[in-house]
Amino acid sequence: MRHAEAEPAGPSGDGARRLTERGRAQARATGAGLRALGVRLELLLTSPRARALETAALLAEELAGSTPEVRPVLDGAAPADEILDELRALAGFEQVALVGHMPVVAELVGLATGGPAPGLGTACVALVEFPARPGRASGQLAWIRSPQL
């Protein structure tokens, strides 16, 4: 998932950007939509940046039961293959969500599916299904959902 809409960068820098009111509504709508689809997360991983942390917290509230866990590799600076390595190390979890930043989130989807990196608007979710352990080109893109859907 790409984090929800955030305020512009200010003097505190990019990492301190918080969600806008619209962004908070987007995150809640995405969480409610996932709940309506029957999504039940075992693990919710997030970037340490403020906008991703807020998005993950609101998503967790809507999905009741998920507690966001910070993973520095999701900060938007690490390459997609490092994130895929992190996923591969999570053997035993079947329903894992990541909250991160563009363009790395889209690059991760492309790397995992062997396809192009999709465009993902704010608070969009891409579901990638893996038949076994995550790896390069081993996943299948099931769907992409926006908060409006």
The verdict on pTM exceeding 0.85 is yes
pLDDT tens over the chain, length 149 residues: 999 999 998 777 677 899 999 999 999 999 999 999 999 999 999 999 999 999 999 999 999 877 899 999 999 999 999 999 999 999 789 899 999 999 999 999 999 999 999 999 999 999 999 998 899 999 999 999 998 87
Helix (H, G, I), strand (E, B) or coil at 53: helix
Cα–Cα dist 44/12, whole Å: 27
CATH architecture, domain 14-145? 3-Layer(aba) Sandwich (3.40)
The full set of domain ranges for the chain reads 14-145
Tens digit of pLDDT for each residue in 33-43?
A: 999 999 999 99
